[in-house]
Structure 1
Amino acid sequence: MRYIVAATLLLTGCVAAPPAAAPIPPQAEAPRFDPFTFFLGTSEGQGTLAKVMADPVPVRVESRGRIETVVTRQSAWAAPARRVLVLDQTVHEGDKPPRERQWRLTEIAPGRYEGTLSDATSPVTAQSEGNRLTIIFTIKDGFKVHQTLTLSPDGSRADNVMRVSQLGMTVAVLREEIRHTAP
């Protein structure tokens, strides 16, 4: 399957390709993008997904975030408790039935995060620098996902540009605005 997709992409060239150069808002030092703060409570994203050889489709994502405290045992001693951001999402993509997914992120160092996403095939890594959060993971069939979220100056919304690629070629781009709606 992967080779069919790659061959199709090579044969079609740039015909109906998604805009790989979707603009990302400028980075700033403040406010700092803390996913534990921004995604706590409810938020909603509205955007457009552009895929190779397909018409753009609207995307809406409803999110509910909470913080869990996790204590693990390491041999005979208990490791310090960790805070885990749990983000439950319902994704509405075009005419497809809604789908549920869950993110789980832990801060492993200041501004650095690791975790899981229920529809990812690799661990999720993320890094916060100033008002920008970058998230990287792999999904089914080896597609690489690179998301850049940029926090607004008032901290109430974030611009999300997600690029999906395979074999170094961009095959889909999502442009989305995420609004924090309630704590």
Structure 2
Amino acid sequence: MKSLFRPALLCLATLLILGGCSSPQVSMYAKEKPTLDLTSYFNGTIDAYGIFTNRSNEVVKRFKVVMKASWVVKDGKRVGTLDEDFFYSDGTTQKRIWTLTETAPGVFTGTADDVVGSATGLMAGNALNWKYTLALPVDGTVYNVQFDDWMYLMDDKVMINRAQMSKFGIYLGEVTLAFYKR
């Protein structure tokens, strides 16, 4: 039994390492158009429609988001507020208020009450990649779930968002959103 365990463990470790190496980098999208200007797109009112799919690709939740977004300059840095109201298909609602700060050209940090620590965002071309941990309540228990969140600007009104969720490196599901700027 011991002789079978070590090769299996080594194979699993190799797969996890190789899987981590295959992630796209935001720099791959540097030449893509239209160029995303986060402070321009997330300014005003934006509607979003989304679904959450589990790891079997079953849609388990549908929702709408109404976002009111604005930016100011504080201490020489652009700081944005994204005030999001979620309306779920089961009748429940949720509010999340993000505070985004541009720390360098194309580099952002973000905080919200249910984000553990802060989110880091990198932007290039038409793409933005956020990485963060969200405290996600499920059936009375809160789980810290990692998000790998990709946004792609399609035109001046539409952005597509895909976010993969994982816990301990295990894929849990995906959130897909379509944003429409009014």
- Matched AA of 1:162: A
Higher strand share: 2
Structure 2 stretches of 5 or more lacking a match?
1-27, 136-142
SS of alignment partner, residue 95 of structure 1: coil
**Aligned-pair RMSD on alpha carbons?**
1.8
Matched, 1:48 2:43: no
- State whether structure 2 residue 62 is matched by structure 1 residue 58: yes
Q: Which residue of 1 aligns with 2:131?
A: 136
Q: Deviations over 1:100-140 (max 9, x none)?
A: 11111111111011121221112011011110010111012
Structure 2 CA distance, aligned partners of 1:93 and 1:170? 23
Of 146, 149, 153, the match for 1:147: 149
Distance in 2, matches of 1:117 and 1:146, equals 16
**Which secondary structure state, in structure 2, belongs to the residue aligned with residue 121 of structure 1?**
strand
Aligned partner of 1:102 among 89, 92, 97? 97
Q: How many aligned positions are there?
A: 146
Matched residues, percent identical?
Answer: 23
Q: Does structure 2 conserve the Cα–Cα contact (< 8 Å) formed by 1:48 and 1:174?
A: yes
Runs (4+) of structure 1 exceeding 6 A deviation are none
Q: Secondary structure at the match of 1:37?
A: helix
Higher relative contact order (CA 8 A, sep 6+): 1
Q: Deviations over 1:57-87 (max 9, x none)?
A: 21211100011232xxxxxxxxx43221100
Distance 1:139 1:57 in 2: 17
Structure 1: stretches of 5+ with no match in the other structure: 1-25, 71-79
- Structure 1 CA distance, aligned partners of 2:146 and 2:109? 16
The residue aligned with 2:78 is 83
